[in-house]
Amino acid sequence: MLNQWETPLFHALLKHASAEPKPFHIPGHKKGKGMNPEFRDFIGHNALSIDLINIEPLDDLHHPHGIIHEAQELAADAFSADYTFFSVQGTSGAIMTMILSVCAPGDKILVPRNVHKSIMSAIIFAGAVPVFIYPELDKKLGISHGITPASVQTAVQEHPEAKALLVINPTYFGVSADLKLIVDTAHQSGIPVLVDEAHGVHIHFHPDLPLSAMQAGADLAATSVHKLGGSMTQSSVLNVKKGLVDPHHVQAVMSMLTTTSTSYLLLASLDTARKYLATQGERLLEQTIALAESVRKEVNAIPGLYCPGREMLDSNAAFALDPTKILISVADLGITGYEVEKWLRSQYNIEIELSDLYNILCIISFGDDRSDTDFLLRALRNLSETFVGAGKLGSPVSIHLPDIPVLAIPPRDAFYAPTETIPFEESAGRIIAEFVMIYPPGIPVLLPGEVITETNIVYIKENAAAGLPVQGPEDSSLEQIRVIKEARPIR
């Protein structure tokens, strides 16, 4: 019987540090003695004393058989997985592992179009062929939700040879599809389900939150413990259910993609975050949900602002909600979400999670209390008074979403094809060879292999003009874009 109150990895590191062995191994800063004193004094002795490496007593993430193995077993038990593998390369690393574990060159993978760039990067590395499933769009808010079980059913029928289905659950905005039905649909055809659970580590630990990937019976889930589960930035887990995937192969692929210099600070923070979630998670999340719901109610009483709740759940693509995500539509104020982000920064020293043309997103976690949310609400009331007072209310920003482009050739072929750069303004109709995304959330508007349309160009330029960071192209000024060279006709 495993004991979730134990932290074997963290505990062993503390024991090792307190015994003060003489280190003739890397890291060369030797508990901070060989480090720039400015940084050493800032970060402190405790952290540096456990910034260690995979020496014999401390096990090895690439071949766990001691304290890392024990910590991963406890994590698997907490997440109801058969196996859990720790990632020190974020959820991006875990996502690449999932895809490279199941796809060989030329294999088809079913994916929603609104995926994070790590998924498209992995598809390029694997040489897989994406079959895109269109996500449901919320035209009122200007955001994408998940995919419907019906569209999964169609995709599975049309492409029964697909090697995997990838699902985002929940979305950045806290919306989940009917994951159980999606998993069952894919499994009926023997297709494994991989879940991007970057925004859902906590949902496993409270019954009122959407079903987690492991609860819904998915095969693999890449889960950002660092985002909402209390571990340090960059630390994530890959949860595995055996059956349709081979856990040992998954582990081997993960090792191929992982640094040999794994950070024990990150690993220890995963061990301790797992204990906190498993033993205190439900109680902490109960408070967090109540706090977030009261913020939602109060935001909705502020003129010009709208914070959607369960009323937006009107299909099985928008089926369940994580209420701790406070999405606020600011379109009725007549200013963009990015302008609101900058205003909150300059007037209140508040940093939000993200903004787009129409919305801002604030995350409430068990690191927040009533005084934090009261401060946010004060700022939002002042925001409304300022812009309603300026007569902007009543001229709402009009909402439109980018066209989903047509994929002309597989992303890997586009990535390796002979290319040329041309003015972005004149690129409509050409096949793009690079990514263009608005960051965050890092979902590509265009990805290698897609045909650029005039409306994509307008949409991207509109976001750039509003000040939102457009990333991906080699030419960050967006004047030039890399496209596939077209063969000229021979006379």
Ligand X SMILES: Cc1ncc(COP(=O)(O)O)c(C=O)c1O
Residues 6 and 275: their CA atoms lie apart, in Å, by 7
The span of 53-61, 87-95, 363-371, 408-416 binding ligand X (CB under 6 A) equals: 87-95
Of residues 173 and 366, the one with the C-beta less far from ligand X: 173
Q: Which of 81, 100, 104, 80 is nearest to 92 (CA)?
A: 100
Q: Residue 135 interacts with ligand X (CB under 6 A)?
A: no
- β-bridge mates for residue 321, sequence order: 175
Minimum distance between the CB of residue 69 and ligand X, rounded to whole angstroms? 23
Minimum distance between the CB of residue 91 and ligand X, rounded to whole angstroms? 3
Minimum distance between the CB of residue 462 and ligand X, rounded to whole angstroms? 22
Contact 192, 220 (CB under 8 A): yes
Of residues 231 and 288, the one with the C-beta less far from ligand X: 231
Q: Element (H or E) spanning 482, and its range?
A: strand 480-484
Q: Residue 356 interacts with ligand X (CB under 6 A)?
A: no
Q: Residue 355 interacts with ligand X (CB under 6 A)?
A: no
Contact 448, 432 (CB under 8 A): yes
| Burial track 274-291 (b if 16+ CB lie within 10 A, e otherwise) | bbbbbeebeebbeebbeb
- DSSP characters over 385-453: HHHHHTT-TTSPPPP--PPPPPB-S-HHHHHHS-EEEEEGGG-TTSBB-S-EEETTTTEEEE-TTBBP-
Of residues 222 and 407, the one with the C-beta less far from ligand X: 222
The span of 85-93, 131-139, 151-159, 281-289 binding ligand X (CB under 6 A) equals: 85-93
Q: Residue 121 interacts with ligand X (CB under 6 A)?
A: no
Of residues 172 and 358, the one with the C-beta less far from ligand X: 172
Residues 35 and 41: their CA atoms lie apart, in Å, by 10
Residues 334 and 324: their CA atoms lie apart, in Å, by 26
The span of 89-97, 102-110, 158-166, 331-339 binding ligand X (CB under 6 A) equals: 89-97
Residues with Cβ < 8 Å from 227, sequence gap 6 or more?
91, 198, 199, 201
**Contact pick of 85, 172, 205, 366 for ligand X (by CB under 6 A):** 172
Identity of the amino acid at 260: T
Minimum distance between the CB of residue 256 and ligand X, rounded to whole angstroms? 17
Residue 311 DSSP code:
G
Q: Residue 236 interacts with ligand X (CB under 6 A)?
A: yes
Q: Residue 92 interacts with ligand X (CB under 6 A)?
A: yes
Of residues 168 and 361, the one with the C-beta less far from ligand X: 168
Q: Residue 296 interacts with ligand X (CB under 6 A)?
A: no
Q: Residue 143 interacts with ligand X (CB under 6 A)?
A: no
Residues with Cβ < 8 Å from 252, sequence gap 6 or more?
none
The residue with its CB nearest to ligand X is: 90
Q: Residue 116 interacts with ligand X (CB under 6 A)?
A: yes
How many residues make contact with ligand X (CB under 6 A)? 14
Residue 230 DSSP code:
S
The span of 84-92, 99-107, 203-211, 368-376 binding ligand X (CB under 6 A) equals: 84-92
Q: Residue 384 interacts with ligand X (CB under 6 A)?
A: no
Minimum distance between the CB of residue 231 and ligand X, rounded to whole angstroms? 11
Longest dimension (CA), the chain: 80
Helices 8-18 and 67-78, axial angle in degrees (round to 10):
150
Of residues 92 and 185, the one with the C-beta less far from ligand X: 92
Strands 108-112 and 164-168 come out as parallel
Strands 164-168 and 193-197 come out as parallel
HEC secondary structure over 19-77: CCCCCCCCCCCCCCCCCCHHHHHHHCHHHHHCCCCCCHHHCCCCCCCCHHHHHHHHHHH
The span of 30-38, 76-84, 90-98, 187-195 binding ligand X (CB under 6 A) equals: 90-98
Q: Could you tell me where the DSSP H helices lie in 203-336? A: 225-228, 247-257, 264-299
Mark residues 427-466: x for contact with ligand X by CB under 6 A, - for none: --------------xx------------------------
Q: Residue 198 interacts with ligand X (CB under 6 A)?
A: yes
Q: Residue 196 interacts with ligand X (CB under 6 A)?
A: yes
Of residues 236 and 239, the one with the C-beta less far from ligand X: 236
Strands 108-112 and 129-133 come out as parallel
Minimum distance between the CB of residue 87 and ligand X, rounded to whole angstroms? 8
Of residues 95 and 291, the one with the C-beta less far from ligand X: 95
Identity of the amino acid at 338: Y
- β-bridge mates for residue 450, sequence order: 407
Q: Residue 90 interacts with ligand X (CB under 6 A)?
A: yes
**Contact pick of 75, 168, 363, 433 for ligand X (by CB under 6 A):** 168
Of residues 90 and 308, the one with the C-beta less far from ligand X: 90
Minimum distance between the CB of residue 65 and ligand X, rounded to whole angstroms? 27
Q: Residue 411 interacts with ligand X (CB under 6 A)?
A: no
Residues within the interface to ligand X (CB under 6 A): 90-92, 95, 116, 118, 168, 172, 196, 198, 224, 236, 441-442
